[in-house]
A = this chain, B = another copy of it.
Amino acid sequence: MSTPASPLRTLLDRRKSGYSLEAPFYTDPAIFEQDIKHIFGQHWIYVGPEVMVPEEGDFVTIEIGRTSVLIVRSDDMQVNAFHNVCRHRGSRLCTEHKGSVGNLVCPYHQWTYNLEGTLLFAEHMGESFNRSGHNLKPVHVRNIAGLIFICLAENPPKDIEDLAAAMTPYIAPHRISDCKIATQIDIIEDCNWKLTMENNRECYHCRGNHPELTISLYEYGFGYAPTPENCEGIDQYNQILEQRHQQWEAMGLPCRELDHLDDCITGFRTQRLPLDRAGQSQTMNAKVASSKLLADFQQADLGALSFWTQPNSWHHFMSDHIVTFTVLPISAEKTMVRTTWLVHKDAVEGRDYNLKDLTAVWVATNAQDRALVERSQQGIRSDAYEPGPYSPFTEMLVEKFCNWYTNRLSALAE
Chain A residues with CB under 8 Å of chain B are: 20, 23, 41, 66-68, 83-93, 95, 107-110, 123-126, 129, 134, 137, 198, 204-205, 208-209, 223-225, 371-372, 375-376, 378-385, 388-394
Contacts and interface: CB of A to CB of B under 8 A. Distances in A.
Contacts of A383: 41, 66-67
10 contacts: A20-B90, A66-B383, A67-B384, A85-B384, A90-B385, A91-B376, A95-B378, A107-B375, A123-B204, A134-B388
Contact of A110 (B208, B376, B384, B390): B208
Copies of this chain present = 3
Nearest to A223: B124
Contacts of A23: 90
Contacts of A83: 382, 384
Given A91-B376, A92-B375, A393 B126 contact: yes
Contacts of A124: 204, 223-225, 391, 393-394
B125 A66 contact: no
Tell me which of A93, A107, A109, A393 has the highest count of chain B C-beta atoms within 10 A of its own C-beta: A109
Nearest to A123: B225
Contacts of A107: 208-209, 371-372, 375
A388 B125 contact: no
A16 to B, nearest CB: 14
A20 B371 CA distance: 44
Contact of A382 (B85, B126, B380, B384): B85
Closest 6 CB pairs of A and B: A83-B384, A66-B381, A124-B225, A124-B391, A90-B379, A92-B379
Contacts of A86: 379, 388
Contacts of A378: 68, 92, 95
A375 B85 contact: no
Given A67-B383, A91-B376, A109-B204, 4 more contacts: A68-B379, A68-B382, A83-B382, A92-B378
Contact of A391 (B66, B126, B389): B126
A379 B66 CA distance: 9
Contacts of A90: 20, 23, 376, 379-380, 382, 385, 388
Contacts of A392: 125-126
A323 to B, nearest CB: 23
A379 B91 contact: yes
B66 A389 contact: no
A142 to B, nearest CB: 19
A108 B391 contact: no
A388 B204 contact: no
A125 B84 contact: no
B129 A389 contact: yes
A391 B389 CA distance: 57
